[in-house]
Amino acid sequence: MLVYTIKRFFEMVIVFFLFLVISYLLFNAIPGNAFSSLLLNPLLPPEAYQKTIEAFGLDKPLFERVQLYIINFFKGDFGYSYTYYPRTPIDLIAERLPRTLMLFSIVNVVAFYTGFLVGKILAWRRGSKSETWITIGSVFSYTVFYPWFALMMLWFFGYKMDWFPLGKFLVPEKWYDSPYASDEIFYTLILFTTISSFLLFLVFIFTRNIESLQKRRNARLFGLIILASLATMYWTNGEAALKRFYAADIAYHMILPTFTVTLVAFAGTALLTRTTMMEVLKDDYILTARAKGLSQKRIRDRHAARTALLPVVTSFIFTIITIIDGSVLTESIFSWPGMGQLILEAVVQEDIPLAMATFSFIGILALIAHFIADISYAFLDPRIRIKAEN
Amino acid sequence: MPDLLLEVKNLSMHYDTLDGNVDAVKDISFSVKSGESFGLVGESGCGKTSVAMTLLQLQPDNSVITEGSIKLDGKELIGLSENDLRKVRWDSISIVFQGAMNAWNPVIKIGEQIREAMREHYPENSKQENIEKIDELFKMVGLDGSISERFPHELSGGMKQRAVIALALSCDPKIIIADEPTTALDVVIQDQILNEIKKVQDLLGLSLIYISHDIAVIAEMTDKIAVMYAGSIVEMGPTKDIFENPVHSYTRALLDSTPSIRGEKRKLKSLDGEPPSLINKIDGCSFAPRCPDRETKCNPTEHMRLVEIAPDHFVDICSQGKQ
Ligand SMILES: Nc1ncnc2c1ncn2[C@@H]1O[C@H](COP(=O)(O)OP(=O)(O)O)[C@@H](O)[C@H]1O
Ligand SMILES: [Mg+2]
């Protein structure tokens, strides 16, 4: 497994180099040589202009420029943003990235999980009325034109019903006298979700060797209760108690975009899970599981769904890349000031350093997501894991 | 009667298909005593697997049991709720499936797949107890304990099959059904597996229902056999009797088409024709169209029913000639 991970890691690094080179060449190929538009950008003071020329080696031949770009990349030096001068792209990304990460990791986890759950139940209840209707609903949300759907959601839940805010990620009025910057709250939120998911993971890992199913369920329940009380304690004591109000504001703004993207994104997973699981249910080992006298739930979850998970994860790996275009669309519609919006702005404003930096970072994100998905796939399928070990 | 473990009476089952009903099990009765091994033999497609599945109440969704009773240890299985059946399965009756190669879930370790069944039926066992028991069972079927930690695709076909036998024994069933357990294996391994099953059965005093299309194998394995043709039992009796004194023409044909297990060279005779389609209702003897004796000895128009011609030796009435 370790060898496999290292191998995949090096593959990832190579792909990343290729990605950097190609994205540089693409930017270079923008008609009229985008770099020359530097000269025309009135926002840029002369000293920054000089620095940029130097930093990017704009007076050098292409090959050296690419080299320089890669070196600069690893130094974290992208020059200056034209539009936000004197802020650097790194600075801007550090501000925006957490917002996008937060929204889209939650959306992806929720969408994958609900999709898998729904698909599993659909396959199990094949032929029932509820199965038919939910399948039709999933096909609709799988094929619907996403921007239209997102706007409809925004119109209905945000405007018509007025349940959710119409966009942005906070209500500015609430933050006027806030002792915290919004980023700080964001980091707290991210840290909190990361740690709680990790602890949750630990609870499941440590209880999986309990032999009696009854005791295992109780142990897990107990673990969840402990975690929940820890979380409550965290938000009611010390500094977090003060941050709570602001964190809640951000969380509230996340609900509608999360819900909308989830609705669209879960359907693909649900439909695929349904089909693969219906195939798996015909397999011989399902009959063995039934003959062993296992409970319906255990046959469904442990035998059928567990095996059906493999192709679903594969397809999920391939859709991870849509996080990028998805984030541009979603963030524009819900005016969520994240990486997607930053890319859009940078491209529209021809802010080349910023655009390149954001692209590279999203590239890294996609690669990392891929990497994680790949590793977990190998973890899920012993046939791959063992092949990888030898 | 001396402790009858399994008692099947007048069992009839058909599959509901678009072309009509497939009568896979027609009015079948037999019984198995504890410790006894019972063989079910017949050409492929005659309904052997259907009988086996019905015994576990695991028949496919499109099947309908029209009549009959299955009593296991005095308890009626037909009509039992899924939850009650779960308690009976594996605990009292377990099965080694036909094509047991695919009986293992590819993504779960062998040991865990066995322990999972033990957890269900012995919830109070500790993990250690379960592991020890599995090791013991593995030893019994000639496997190493370390197999527990392997995934199915890491084992050879023969090893998988041995592990399946260990799996079938894991919850101390009273009776095991082995449905052509050696079909997918090569000949040498087949022999080993048969010996393993026989050994384990003797050692644990289990009852066994051994299903095969190969009457030679059945002869080695069983005390009593039933010959099945087109969904019905046409002859049933102590194995020795059937071999020494086969009465039904189909039994004789089966025996003639098999090289003798006792080593004397017998002439191989193959049966002409095909088994009848189970969709068509047949009145009278279903074997009649292929029967070499239909003109001479038999009475193929007689409605099928078993008569006892010697102690414990039953045969279809058609073969008894005109009365
Ligand atoms: N689910 C099913 N639906 C319809 N027909 C079936 C089904 N399962 C088996 N059959 C038919 O029932 C007959 C008996 O099959 P089976 O019990 O598998 O025979 P055997 O095990 O003796 O080879 C065959 O004709 C087979 O085609
Ligand atoms: Mg069969």
Going along chain B from its start, the domains and CATH numbers come out as: 4-92+173-317 (3.40.50.300), 100-172 (no CATH)
Q: Is the CB of B60 under 6 A from ligand 1?
A: yes
**Residue B80 distance to chain A (closest CA, Å):** 13
Q: Is the CB of B17 under 6 A from ligand 1?
A: yes
**Residue B205 distance to chain A (closest CA, Å):** 21
Domain for residue A382, yes or no? yes
Instruction: Tell me the mean pLDDT per 10 residues along chain A, length 390.
Output: 84 89 81 59 72 71 81 80 81 86 84 91 89 91 88 89 82 80 84 91 86 85 95 87 86 89 87 92 92 92 90 79 76 87 86 83 82 82 71
Please report the sign of the dihedral spanned by the C-alpha atoms of residue A96, residue A98, residue A101, residue A104: negative
Task: State which residues form the domain around A53.
Answer: 2-75
Task: Look at A294 and B117 and tell me if their CB atoms are within 8 Å.
Answer: yes
- Of A18, A50, A75, the domain-final residue: A75
Which atom of ligand 1 lies nearest, measured to the CA of B42? Answer: 22
For B85, nearest residue in chain A (alpha carbons): A293
CA of B180 to the centre of ligand 2 (A): 7
CA distance A345 to A337: 11
Q: Are A293 and B122 in contact (CB under 8 A)?
A: no
CA distance B174 to B176: 7
pLDDT for residue A36: 62
Out of A287, A294, A303, the one facing B120 most closely (by C-beta) is A294
Residues with CB under 5 A from ligand 2 (ion): B 49, 98
**Residue B24 distance to chain A (closest CA, Å):** 19
A388: which chain B residues are within 8 Å (Cβ-Cβ)? none
With the most atoms of ligand 1 within 8 angstroms of its CB, the residue from B23, B50, B55 to mutate is B50
At B209, which amino acid appears? I
Q: Kindly state whether residues A67 and A166 are assigned to the same domain.
A: no
Q: Kindly state whether residues A68 and A216 are assigned to the same domain.
A: no
Closest C-alpha among B92, B103, B164, B170 to residue B130: B170
Question: Which 3-state string (H, E, C) describes chain A?
Answer: CHHHHHHHHHHHHHHHHHHHHHHHHHHHCCCCCHHHHHHHCCCCCHHHHHHHHHHHCCCCCHHHHHHHHHHHHHHCCCCCCCCCCCCCHHHHHHHHHHHHHHHHHHHHHHHHHHHHHHHHHHHHCCCCHHHHHHHHHHHHHHHCCHHHHHHHHHHHHHHHCCCCCCCCCCCHHHHCCCCCCHHHHHHHHHHHHHHHHHHHHHHHHHHCCCCCHHHHHHHHHHHHHHHHHHHHHHHHCHHHHHHHHHHHHHHHHHHHHHHHHHHHHHHHHHHHHHHHHHHHCCCHHHHHHHHCCCCHHHHHHHHHHHHHHHHHHHHHHHHCCHHHHHHHHHHHHCCCCCHHHHHHHHHHCCCHHHHHHHHHHHHHHHHHHHHHHHHHHHHHCHHHHHHHHC
Which ligand has the shortest distance to the CA of B276? Answer: 1
For B127, nearest residue in chain A (alpha carbons): A211
Domain for residue A248, yes or no? yes
Q: Kindly state whether residues A126 and A226 are assigned to the same domain.
A: yes
For A378, nearest residue in chain B (alpha carbons): B107
**Residue A90 distance to chain B (closest CA, Å):** 44
Tokens representing B83? 């939850």
**Band (B167; pLDDT cuts 50, 70, 90):** very high
CA of B23 to the centre of ligand 1 (A): 9
pLDDT for residue B220: 85
- Cβ neighbours for A295, distance < 8 A, ≥ 6 positions apart: B86, B120
CA distance B161 to B175: 18
Q: Is the CB of B50 under 6 A from ligand 1?
A: yes
Domain for residue A81, yes or no? no
Is B312's Cβ below 8 Å from some Cβ in A?
A: no
Q: Integer distance in angstroms from the first to the last C-alpha of chain A?
A: 10
Domain for residue A38, yes or no? yes
Q: Kindly state whether residues A142 and A9 are assigned to the same domain.
A: no
Q: Kindly state whether residues A161 and A232 are assigned to the same domain.
A: yes
Q: Are B39 and B212 in contact (CB under 8 A)?
A: yes
Tell me how many domains chain A contains. 2
pLDDT for residue A34: 53
**Band (B262; pLDDT cuts 50, 70, 90):** very low
Tell me which of B107, B108, B169 to substitute to probe the interface with A (most A C-beta atoms closer than 10 Å): B107
Task: Look at A288 and B103 and tell me if their CB atoms are within 8 Å.
Answer: yes
Q: Kindly state whether residues A282 and A335 are assigned to the same domain.
A: yes
Closest C-alpha among A181, A172, A187, A191 to residue A249: A172
Which residue owns the Cα nearest ligand 1 atom 12? B24
Domain for residue A14, yes or no? yes
Out of B86, B89, B106, the one facing A307 most closely (by C-beta) is B106
Domain for residue A130, yes or no? yes
Tokens representing A72? 């600069």
pLDDT for residue A31: 63
CA of B233 to the centre of ligand 1 (A): 16
Q: Are B250 and B226 in contact (CB under 8 A)?
A: no
Does residue B86 carry a pLDDT above 80? yes
pLDDT for residue A35: 59
Tell me which of A276, A292, A299, A307 to substitute to probe the interface with B (most B C-beta atoms closer than 10 Å): A292
Closest C-alpha among A192, A158, A111 to residue A335: A158
Pairing of strands B232-238, B313-316: antiparallel
pLDDT for residue A323: 67
Q: Kindly state whether residues A305 and A195 are assigned to the same domain.
A: yes
pLDDT for residue A38: 61
Q: Kindly state whether residues A28 and A129 are assigned to the same domain.
A: no
pLDDT tens, position by position, B188-240: 888 888 888 998 899 889 999 999 988 888 888 899 999 999 999 999 999 99
CA distance B171 to B168: 7
Is B320's Cβ below 8 Å from some Cβ in A?
A: no
Is B103's Cβ below 8 Å from some Cβ in A?
A: yes
Q: Is the CB of B20 under 6 A from ligand 1?
A: no
**Band (B274; pLDDT cuts 50, 70, 90):** confident
Domain for residue A308, yes or no? yes
CA distance B77 to B81: 9
**Backbone angles phi and psi of A75, in degrees to 5:** -80, -10
Q: Counting beta carbons within 10 angstroms of the beta carbon of residue B323, is it exposed (0 to 12), middle (13 to 18) or buried (19 or more)? A: exposed
Q: Kindly state whether residues A71 and A129 are assigned to the same domain.
A: no
Q: Are B242 and B200 in contact (CB under 8 A)?
A: no
Please report the sign of the dihedral spanned by the C-alpha atoms of residue A134, residue A140, residue A142, residue A146: negative
> Which value, to the nearest 10 degrees, does the dihedral of the CA atoms of residues A280, A283, A216, A198 take?
-30
Q: Kindly state whether residues A229 and A98 are assigned to the same domain.
A: yes
With the most atoms of ligand 1 within 8 angstroms of its CB, the residue from B12, B15, B177, B183 to mutate is B15
Q: Kindly state whether residues A30 and A107 are assigned to the same domain.
A: no
Pairing of strands B224-229, B37-41: parallel
The DSSP call for residue B150 is S
Q: Is the CB of B22 under 6 A from ligand 1?
A: yes
CA distance B223 to B229: 20
CA distance A239 to A94: 23
| Range B39-55 average pLDDT | 93
Q: Are A221 and A203 in contact (CB under 8 A)?
A: no
Which ligand has the shortest distance to the CA of B179? Answer: 2
Q: Are B8 and B70 in contact (CB under 8 A)?
A: yes
Q: Kindly state whether residues A234 and A302 are assigned to the same domain.
A: yes
Residue A382, preceding peptide bond in cis (omega within 30° of 0): no
pLDDT for residue A229: 95
Which atom of ligand 1 lies nearest, measured to the CA of B277? Answer: 25
**Residue B50 distance to chain A (closest CA, Å):** 14
CA of A302 to the centre of ligand 2 (A): 27
As a 3-state breakdown, chain B gives helix, strand, coil percent values, each rounded to 5, of 35, 25, 40
**Residue B175 distance to chain A (closest CA, Å):** 13
Task: Look at A381 and B107 and tell me if their CB atoms are within 8 Å.
Answer: yes
Pick left, alpha or beta for residue A332 (phi over 0 → left; psi -120 to 50 → alpha; otherwise beta). alpha
Out of B99, B116, B124, the one facing A294 most closely (by C-beta) is B116
Q: Is the CB of B25 under 6 A from ligand 1?
A: no
- What sections of B156-286 are H helices per DSSP? 157-169, 187-204, 215-221, 239-244, 249-256
Distances (CA, A) of A81 to A353, A357, B11: 6, 10, 83
CA distance B131 to B127: 6
For B116, nearest residue in chain A (alpha carbons): A294
Domain for residue A36, yes or no? yes
